Chain A
Amino acid sequence: MSDSNSGCGCGCGDGKGCAGAAKPSEKDVKDLKVIIGLEIHCQLNTKTKLFCGCSADFRDDAPNTHVCPICLGLPGALPKLNKQAVIYALKVAKALNLEISEVSEFSRKNYFYPDLPKGYQISQYDKPIALRGKMTVDDDEGHEKVIRITRIHLEEDPGRLVHKISRDRAGYTLVDYNRSSIPLIEIVTEPDLSSPKEARRFLNKLRATLEYLDVFDGEKEGSIRVDANISLEGHNRVECKNISSYKGVEKALTFEITRQRNLIRRGQEIVQETRHFLEGRGITTGSRSKEDENDYRYFPEPDLKPLRVKDWADKIELPELPDAKRERFMSQYKISVNHAKTLVGDIKVADFYEGILKNPAISKETELAATWVCDTLLGELYYRDMKIDAVPRECFADLVALLKDKKVTDKVAVDVLRAMLDDIHEGRKCAMPSETVEKSGLGKGSDDEFTEIIKKVVAANPQAVADYHSGKGNAINFIVGQIMKETKGRADPKSLNKLIVDYIASME
């Protein structure tokens, strides 16, 4: 059923909703609770594929160069399980507090598709590697809540189809099996999420956790894919497939909630169905044909033995995870909860923060450093689509040191930071901020120097001085502005203000 031409779904043939379904009030529709559950597929960044020895690092290489009889599904080839992938899955299971299954099992998920070399995917079905876990996330009011995790299982990625247009404009499709048999974990949550933003925060935290565990690289294209189940309280559930970005999840869910609310407003019933998210258009569409519906005919994979890996899990030692790191940052560095949350939200940011604090010049400036990383650096990086690893820690530490010693104003510091990031971004060598400031004379001037400039500006603007005398207090701002211009921001506005007032007073 499409949105523009929606029947009421009860089979009465009425396009505008039928007598059977009463239209609810606007308030009722608005108050309907949103219920969201996620199925998240993440590629594990193992060295080799899940069932063969091919290198899993294929993204920069030509199609079909990371393949062998096993991942091509050649007749007679058998899967050989990659232990590292199992250990990675166990790490995730432990980090998310799941119970590791005493015995788990691989199953075949049978369906035909040209990117699926064997005609089945080796996955896990009724005996996944781990069950029942939880992770906390902040709800939309900022309160911590628990999201239950149903299960985690291991499976292999299929290949990838590449659609092309030939010279005669006819379309054709090529298959690249480099991705075939890359290890995936599927993490399934209970329907405990209550808003698209919350779902996105959950994903961000999940991503952070996986990166803390060093089992996942969220920056790799296509490394995460999400299916979302979404319903409004008391109504049918819709499954949204094919979401391949963090932003996409929020978009798809927001679109679905609006779509479902509108249907309910019109008194129509939600059809229980699978819909596809079209990332480019930000909408979901219903499946057109019955051919998309599969009976996967799961059965235990006869080529692999059941997994008994509980004692492997017991031996795994987890690194410090985001929640623990946040607590430690707050107590060790005495920084605010918001700064701590921002810093630990990405292990690279947390490591950067702790890295710059190693610089003896600023090792005690934990708050100042946190403020400049969280409130300035991250925004400037985001604006340039840059990663924090690109920023030399000694340069940033040097900048914080200049601020600590009050050698630059905040404004100059931001300018220096921007110039530094632009240099890195455009492939130039970035200079130490202290040298930049030295060379270009951007250092904070002395009061004597400023007094000279004040004299000049005041002499040139008698009207402003007169206004000031006649009680227009903000006439001083005009003078401050002029001086800031003259000093290229090297002066600190607050102390400047005082200098001006003192000077004007001394003129009388």
Chain B
Amino acid sequence: MRYRFDAEDGNNAFITIVRDAEYKEGGVLSGIPVAVKDNISTKGIPTTCGSKILEGYVPPYDAHAVAMIKEAGAVIVGKTNMDEFGMGTTTENSAYFPTTNPCDRTCVPGGSSGGSAAAIASDMVPMALGSDTGGSIRCPAAFCGIVGLKPTYGRVSRFGLIAYSNSLEQIGPMAKNVTDVSKLMEVISKPDIYDSTAYNRPYVHTPSAQIKGKKIAVPKEYFGEGVDDKVADCVRGAISKLEEMGAEIIDCSIPSMKYALAAYYVTCTSEASSNLSRFDGVRFGPKVEMKRSWHDEYRDYRGERFGEEVQRRILLGTFALSAGYYGKYYAKAQVARSNIRNDFLRVLNEADLIAGPTMPNTAFKIGEKSSNPLEMYLADILTVPANLAGVPAISVPCGKVGGMPVGLQIIGRHFDEESVVDAAFAYEQEVN
């Protein structure tokens, strides 16, 4: 079937729009326009990762998640803007243009899946695929006032997701509401033998608003230093609502959180430095005439075509893996990571879920943080722990502060997206 996609892109949500698309009728997503983040391979549709180094690259194959949504009848209407290779929290690091926040166009939509979130929040599409390495689905979901789920590591195949940090990231669903997130999750979690790190644990679930008797742990670190007071109050209000609905709220602590950012940035930059080595101009991306030694050509090609943040992270990661520093940085980060995982397992042994804010604040003004990478990294503090622990986490809108949306983050046990989705659904039903 043919589909005419006419929605206007007032927030620069898309890098590529497919105005005339085809789809297969009959599945659970039949005829639904779905946007796909531009780091997820789509056969025949340019896929740039928001980078000039992949300008003009058209993948010859579909990512598993894309193949699954096509099979379910979805219409791929375009590829959404993102921080280059997913490296950012605002979508300002796109090599093409920044995306604006549909709630306030002077603000960023969050990142790195900012284009997908903006496309949903501006009603261009009801649902979209994002990817989450350290919060890249949940942050823009929170900033734009939509729902976004980062699945358990291994529940959705990464095949076709252009790697930034393989051991942390997952493709995940984003939508206006929990029901659609759940529906999209069901489609993309179909098993895939081509991702060796994926498990055969398909998600088959219809959200239920029943949370009576569920134990929800609230870590004090999620309301600590750096978290905006008004955001904290807003989220506390949402958690009280869950308590009123019959959930049992308990206090807890995740002491290893203080190492989370360091562990996260060492791990993701290390993996990125290796993943991004393949962008050398030899096989794909913009055509180059290589007339000098390959060594000189590679250096200049990469130097010219990778953005500043990407180069910064490649350098950091290369350093962290270097002889003599590996033990000090990469190996240490893995120890910290396993401590964080153990802390989460401990808390989730006592409680069914963990709740807190998704982001320490509401959406920044465009340009507000872009000059200070370190300050930008700090904004990820509440989202990276779920990636380090590999557990599922959802962000669901829970009110506004100063007119901008706030996200409630609910984290669950490994492969228990069902409980996470149910809690978010219960909250959503209650407040709407």
Contacts and interface: CB of A to CB of B under 8 A. Distances in A.
A142 interface: no
A110 interface: yes
Contact of A76 (B59, B277, B294, B318): B59
B15 to A, nearest CB: 15
Contact of B167 (A69, A120, A302): A302
B283 to A, nearest CB: 6
Nearest to B284: A74
A421 B197 CA distance: 56
Interface stretch (B154-162, B257-265, B399-407): B154-162
B261 to A, nearest CB: 19
Contact of B298 (A81, A112, A118): A112
Contacts of B60: 69, 74
Contacts of A298: 321, 326
A112 B163 CA distance: 18
B47 interface: yes
A297 B59 contact: no
Nearest to B192: A78
A303 B322 CA distance: 20
B41 A80 contact: no
B197 A75 contact: no
Contacts of A113: 294
Nearest to A64: B283
A297 B295 contact: no
A304 interface: yes
Contacts of B323: 295, 297
A299 B270 contact: yes
A119 B280 contact: yes
A115 to B, nearest CB: 9
Contact of A304 (B49, B194, B196, B284): B196
B318 A297 contact: yes
Given A112-B277, A297-B321, A76 B326 contact: no
A175 interface: yes
Interface string B23-41: 0000000000000000111
B278 A303 contact: no
Given A297-B321, A302-B197, A303-B197, A73 B326 contact: no
B63 interface: yes
B59 A81 contact: no
B196 A303 contact: yes
Contacts of A295: 322-323
Nearest to B154: A305
Interface string A82-124: 0000000000000000000000000010101110011110000
Contacts of B271: 299, 302
A118 B277 CA distance: 6
Q: Which of A69, A298, A302, A304 has the most CB of B within 10 A?
A: A302
B337 to A, nearest CB: 12
Contact of A117 (B47, B161, B278): B278
A372 B397 CA distance: 88
B41 A75 contact: yes
A78 to B, nearest CB: 5
Contact of B63 (A76, A291, A302): A76
Contacts of A110: 273-274, 277, 321
Contact of A303 (B166, B279, B282): B166
Contacts of A291: 295
Contacts of A304: 196-197
Interface residues of B, number: 46
B54 interface: yes
Nearest to B282: A114
Given A72-B283, A76-B160, A299-B321, A305 B196 contact: yes
Contacts of A75: 41, 47, 49, 54, 57, 59, 162-163, 278-279, 284
A113 B276 CA distance: 14
B143 interface: no
A103 B276 CA distance: 28
Contacts of B229: none
Contact of B194 (A72, A78, A112, A305): A78
Contacts of B335: none
Contacts of B159: 76-78
A414 to B, nearest CB: 56
A79 interface: yes
A119 B276 CA distance: 8
Nearest to B297: A114
Contact of A81 (B158, B162, B196): B196
B330 A78 contact: no
A69 B165 CA distance: 19
Contacts of B284: 74-75
A178 B326 CA distance: 34
Q: Which of A69, A75, A295, A304 has the most CB of B within 10 A?
A: A75
Interface string A45-79: 00000000000000000000000010011111111
Contact of B162 (A76, A80, A114, A118): A76
B195 interface: yes
B250 interface: no
Given A303-B196, A305-B196, A76 B163 contact: yes
A99 B111 CA distance: 49
A72 B282 CA distance: 11
A299 B283 contact: no
Given A74-B59, A75-B278, A76-B63, A117 B163 contact: no
B193 to A, nearest CB: 7
Nearest to B294: A114
A77 B193 CA distance: 13
Nearest to A294: B323
A82 to B, nearest CB: 11
Interface string B144-156: 0000000000000
A428 B330 CA distance: 66
A79 B196 contact: yes
A299 B331 CA distance: 9
Interface string B43-80: 00001010000100101110100000000000000000
Contacts of A77: 61, 159-160
A291 B321 CA distance: 18
Contacts of A78: 158-159, 194-196
Contacts of B294: 112-114
Nearest to A73: B278
Interface of A: 69, 72-81, 108, 110, 112-114, 117-120, 175, 291, 295, 297-299, 302-305
The 3 closest A-B pairs by CB, nearest first: A119-B277, A297-B321, A302-B166
Given A75-B54, A175-B282, A302-B167, 10 more contacts: A73-B278, A76-B160, A110-B273, A110-B277, A112-B277, A112-B298, A117-B283, A120-B277, A299-B271, A299-B326
8 contacts: A74-B59, A76-B40, A78-B194, A110-B277, A297-B273, A297-B274, A297-B318, A299-B271
